[in-house]
Structure 1
Amino acid sequence: MESIDLTVLRELKDWRVSGRPALLATVVHTWGSSPRPPGSMLALREDGRISGSVSGGCIEDDLIDRYSRANGGPGIPGRAPQVVRYGVSADEAHRFGLPCGGTLELLLEFNPDAVLLDELVRTLDHGTLVTRSLRCTDGHVALNKAVAPAEVEFDGRQLSVTLGPAYRMLLIGAGTLAQYLATMALFNGFDITLCDPRREYLDAWTIPGIKTTADMPDDAVVAFRPDLRSCVVALSHDPKLDDLALLEALHSQAFYIGAIGSRRNSANRRNRLATHFGESQESLSRLHGPVGIYIGSKTPPEIAVSVMAEILAAKNGVKLPSTIQVEDAKNALQPA
């Protein structure tokens, strides 16, 4: 499953290439609480079909009423981009299902150019980070290669949105936990590669839509080339496999590096990597282990939930409780 942004752009491209009138709505500003962050996109076809989301549903309904012919509306106009704002008053916020005090601003593009949409989708499919800039006076769009992710920028005259290829995940070890984690990562839009040189494990893999390799883990990490939109998770429980992958990953740009194991095993792993392989404390500070958020989980599905939550928190720049707080949580579970 690809990222929601790419899904929206791909559907919009298909509509426009086939000559169907459509609009692209992008969240450009939010105030207070809002359902979707800046950069969120929705495509609306003239017959009322939509792709993506900018709210919990009420704003989508309003856009359909305004711009589709589904209920006798005027259809998609051929004019310059337009800014619309929702939730300015408490009554309007309630009407559109926004949280108390929430306001969001959308920029609407009418009938985006099909050729440029096709170029954008093909560029993203090739794994390139792209900044799409829109001039509001006339709807002119420019596509430029970007070197790093960036926040949405909108000054009332120009909108710049940096769009990237899907976030990527490299899993080491094809066990049961990896299957659950891969399933969750797919639904969160990650592009997944699975590495396991143990053929008996790899041959038993059942999750479709995932690239697999039987290379040794360190070679797999090198080939994967982790970047700022990548994470590496070692799940084999075999130090000969996990440690090799971690040694390479710790010197990459991956936003998250984690390894399964108890607190004792994790401490032993850190000691091995420092003593036998010369890893510094600064390098090891990037390693998440025990992997996942402590939620008292014991089964592979629950552990996968905790790991996916921790990965998403790291992706979104959220700091989570330390191991000391985890110990407190475990102690609190003990009977008095």
Structure 2
Amino acid sequence: MDSLDLQVLTQARRWREDGHAVWLVTVIETWGSAPRPPGALLAMRDDGLVAGSVSGGCVEDDLIERVRGGERVARPSLVVYGVTKEEAARFGLPCGGNLRLLQEPLDATDWLDEILARTARHELVARVLDLASGTVRIEPAHRGDAFSFDGRELRALFGPRWRMLIVGAGQLSRALAQMALMLDFDVICCDPREEYHLTWNVPGTTFSTEMPDDLALALQLDPHSAVVALTHDPKLDDLVLLEALKSPAFYVGALGSRGNTVKRKERLALFDLSAAEIDRLHGPIGLDIGSRTPGEIAVSILAEVVAVRNGVALRQKKPTLAAAASLP
């Protein structure tokens, strides 16, 4: 899921409270190129007003025309677009893509209230819709779970599937935390230094004054976790890196110049880390976009985190001193 889907649910609840009939439309399957992934949501009001997106525009226009024309779906039902090349062209589906949607009336909102309350507490939950009865139940989910649809049940995730541990509570950390929240990371900031943690003021994040290495162990870092060390203090950054680099965390990065990164890796080699584990460290941290301000540096860090998460080659990566020395 993404934050847009929670906004869709919030708007859908508001419309129901105002007395409107509302339908939810969920992307359940795509073929070819598609602008929205399975699980993406759209809410549609009885007068054709919509929130969210399932295609980027043209399919939404057709759904709106159906509602304005008097169509009233009374039970969960499938809608397919782009079965033929002509339909794909008509509805603006790129590259001959196809789109299968599930449309359902929003009759009860108790499950919706539960999702919004639990995700506000940073819980990851699943909405399970039974197509035959139209009933919905909410159950706990795990970060390794994914959207699923088997023809009888739809299971969609809501809440933060990804987690970011930020070490250091400075200005850069605040900028990074705010941006990471927008990408649906569950953000934990750690800084035991009193002069820093007393000024942390990023709503929606969790703050800890534990030592970073102790917190990393307590969090049980997994493949959906990212660790970003930003204190410039080796006593804090190196400690958390020793634990993070041995963990399954998908991303581990540390702030520092190319020279400091080389020295950090030399220090890490003195401990029980293998060369392969040390090579997992992203440093200098972030993509090379010429960033200077805290906001720009946060953009470069988060862009690198997302690229690693998505398995994309880091084409704009600034080389280390050793790599730079080998360039012609």
TM value normalised by structure 1: 0.80
For structure 1, list consecutive stretches of 5 or more residues without a partner in the other structure.
none
Name the CA shift for 1:49/1:249 in 2 (closer, same or farther; >3 Å). Answer: farther
1:266-298 Cα distance to aligned partner (Å, 9 max, x none): 2322222231x3223343344322222233444
Q: Do 2:25 and 2:103's aligned partners in 1 also have CA atoms closer than 8 Å?
A: yes
Question: 168, 188, 206: which is aligned to 1:193?
Answer: 188
CA distance in 2, matches of 1:13, 1:254: 36
Letter in 1 for 2:272: G
Q: Any residues of structure 2 matched to 1:125-274 within 5 Å, and which?
A: 125-165=120-160, 167-203=162-198, 207-222=202-217, 224=219, 226-274=221-269
Q: Secondary structure at the match of 1:100?
A: helix
How far off its partner does 1:230 sit?
3.0
Q: Secondary structure at the match of 1:294?
A: coil
Name the CA shift for 1:323/1:168 in 2 (closer, same or farther; >3 Å). Answer: closer
For structure 2, list consecutive stretches of 5 or more residues without a partner in the other structure.
none
Letter in 2 for 1:315: R
Provide the residue aligned with 1:280 in structure 2: 274
Q: Any residues of structure 2 matched to 1:307-322 within 5 Å, and which?
A: 307-321=301-315
Q: Do 1:16 and 1:113's aligned partners in 2 also have CA atoms closer than 8 Å?
A: no
Question: 70, 75, 80: which is aligned to 1:74?
Answer: 70
Q: Do 1:169 and 1:191's aligned partners in 2 also have CA atoms closer than 8 Å?
A: yes
Provide the residue aligned with 1:25 in structure 2: 25
Q: Any residues of structure 2 matched to 1:287-302 within 5 Å, and which?
A: 287-302=281-296
CA distance in 1, matches of 2:3, 2:47: 24
Question: Once superposed, what is the RMSD of the aligned Cα atoms?
Answer: 3.5
1:65 aligns with 2:65: yes
More displaced stretch, 193-202 vs 309-318: 193-202
CA distance in 2, matches of 1:271, 1:195: 25
Letter in 2 for 1:57: G
Q: Secondary structure at the match of 2:94?
A: coil
1:25-54 Cα distance to aligned partner (Å, 9 max, x none): 111111111111111111223243433221
Q: Do 1:16 and 1:22's aligned partners in 2 also have CA atoms closer than 8 Å?
A: yes
Q: Do 2:160 and 2:185's aligned partners in 1 also have CA atoms closer than 8 Å?
A: no
Question: 86, 104, 107: which is aligned to 2:81?
Answer: 86
CA distance in 1, matches of 2:123, 2:177: 23
CA distance in 1, matches of 2:14, 2:274: 50
How far off its partner does 1:107 sit?
1.0
How far off its partner does 1:139 sit?
2.3
Q: Do 2:180 and 2:302's aligned partners in 1 also have CA atoms closer than 8 Å?
A: yes
Name the CA shift for 1:253/1:75 in 2 (closer, same or farther; >3 Å). Answer: farther
Letter in 2 for 1:74: G
CA distance in 2, matches of 1:112, 1:282: 54
CA distance in 1, matches of 2:181, 2:50: 22
Provide the residue aligned with 1:48 in structure 2: 48
CA distance in 2, matches of 1:32, 1:328: 42
Provide the residue aligned with 1:99 in structure 2: 94
CA distance in 1, matches of 2:207, 2:158: 26
Provide the residue aligned with 1:303 in structure 2: 297
Identity %: 50
More displaced stretch, 56-65 vs 206-215: 206-215
Name the CA shift for 1:202/1:129 in 2 (closer, same or farther; >3 Å). Answer: closer
Q: Do 2:227 and 2:251's aligned partners in 1 also have CA atoms closer than 8 Å?
A: yes
TM value normalised by structure 2: 0.81
How many residue pairs get aligned? The number is: 327
CA distance in 1, matches of 2:28, 2:323: 40
